[in-house]
Amino acid sequence: MTPAKAAIEASFAKQGLMRSFKAGIEEIASGRVVLSMPISPAIGQQHGVAHAGASFALGDSASGYAALTLMEPGAEVMTVEMKINLIAPAAGRRLIATGEVVKPGRRLMITRCTVQAEAEDGILRDVALLQGTMIPV
């Protein structure tokens, strides 16, 4: 395991919200991190599909860790701002967030993330698109 991978796994394990959401790491690559979590009534909105806040949280963590893969060892990452467009109801069994750095920088990193919902039959559907800014702290 690379140091970046180990640092991300250690940091992720400390995120209480990700633990509450039963979220897990699917993939860690240079400038790219994929996270997933089950869709359940515990993260629902009033119509039973996942709350925008759940898609946001998973997408924000995936984006932050994608940025962290490109930062100096020992760095930590913080979200400056994040924009989310909700594009379809987050129905199904699982949310999958793919965060990527689209513009690395020493002071700031720009990230994008696609959040998908996996239906019971395995079909993936884009449910949210995020674009934001990460800063090393």
Closer to a copy of itself by CB, 60 or 118: give it: 60
Residue 6 CB neighbour total at 10 angstroms? 11
C-alpha 94/C-alpha 135 separation (Å) is 29
C-alpha 4/C-alpha 44 separation (Å) is 33
Work out whether 9 is an interface residue with a copy of itself (CB under 8 A).
no
Chain positions 44 to 73 lying near a copy of itself, rule: CB under 8 A, are: 44-48, 50-54, 56-58, 60-61
Closest approach of a copy of itself to the CB of residue 39, in Å: 10
Radius of gyration (C-alpha) of the chain in whole angstroms = 14
C-alpha 74/C-alpha 71 separation (Å) is 8
Contact 81, 109 (CB under 8 A): no
Work out whether 106 is an interface residue with a copy of itself (CB under 8 A).
no
Find the binder of a copy of itself among 4, 11, 31, 91 (CB under 8 A): 11
- The one-letter amino acid code at 3 reads P
Work out whether 40 is an interface residue with a copy of itself (CB under 8 A).
yes
Q: Which residues bind a copy of itself (CB under 8 A)?
A: 11-12, 14-20, 40-48, 50-54, 56-58, 60-61, 76, 78-88, 102-103, 105, 107-108, 110, 112, 126, 129, 131, 133, 135
